[in-house]
């Protein structure tokens, strides 16, 4: 237990709040440039395929934000894991804002989050009994999200759009790594952990 607490303290030192602002500002700053790079101004319909892909990604970010909120409100997370969850939730809010702005700038309508009840059902929240259950859910979500962003990159219409997805995938991969460490699970020995 002491080793676990020490491990979490180390995690917290690795993930200062400054990381959030740098990531959020960096990606948010890309959104208008992204729309310009696609040759579309605000209000002009861009490739519907790209808008649809971004909206699917936005749906994932909405779900992640709610999942971390549910975890934080559950009373099952103890500091510093609770703080870590809130930092990760902040990252996902940054991703959400970047994606929603990009959808808007490309001429689309950003998808809205579902209801809490819908997320409670789809995430099978009833099965979460302790902190490790929540960490495993978050770990699984982050792995899936990283792979999803990597998997959609070849379908996107622009390199700049793919670069934004690559940045977000890197954040998700970082979350997965830290959650894996918090769960004291080994990092896979084989190459290509994602994708």
Residues that bind another protein (CB under 8 A): 48-49, 52-53, 55-56, 59-60, 63, 121-122, 140-141, 143-145, 147-148, 151-152, 154-156
Residue showing tokens 């700038």: 105
Q: Between 82 and 150, name the residue whose CB sits nearer to another protein.
A: 150
Closest CA to 159 of 21, 39, 24, 25: 39
Q: Are 73 and 120 in contact (CB under 8 A)?
A: no
CB of residue 59 to another protein, shortest distance in Å: 4
Q: Between 60 and 102, name the residue whose CB sits nearer to another protein.
A: 60
Q: Between 121 and 184, name the residue whose CB sits nearer to another protein.
A: 121
CB of residue 81 to another protein, shortest distance in Å: 22
Q: Are 170 and 154 in contact (CB under 8 A)?
A: no
Q: Between 93 and 136, name the residue whose CB sits nearer to another protein.
A: 136
Q: Are 103 and 55 in contact (CB under 8 A)?
A: yes
């Amino acid at each position: 237990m002491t080793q676990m607490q020490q491990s979490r303290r180390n995690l917290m030192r690795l993930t200062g709040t400054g990381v959030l602002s740098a990531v959020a500002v960096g990606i948010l700053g890309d959104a208008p440039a992204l729309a310009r790079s696609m040759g579309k101004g605000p209000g002009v319909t861009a490739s519907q395929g790209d808008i649809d892909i971004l909206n699917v990604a936005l749906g994932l970010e909405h779900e992640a934000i709610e999942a971390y909120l549910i975890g934080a409100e559950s009373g099952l997370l103890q500091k510093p894991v609770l703080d870590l969850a809130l930092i990760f939730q902040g990252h996902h809010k940054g991703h959400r804002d970047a994606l929603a702005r990009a959808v808007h700038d490309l001429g689309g309508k950003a998808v809205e989050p579902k209801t809490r009840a819908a997320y409670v059902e789809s995430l099978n929240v009833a099965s979460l009994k302790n902190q490790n259950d929540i960490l495993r859910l978050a770990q699984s979500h982050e792995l899936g999200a990283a792979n999803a962003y990597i998997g959609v990159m070849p379908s996107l219409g622009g390199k700049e759009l793919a670069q934004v997805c690559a940045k977000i995938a890197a954040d998700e991969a970082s979350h997965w790594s830290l959650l894996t460490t918090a769960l004291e699970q080994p990092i896979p020995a084989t190459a290509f952990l994602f994708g």
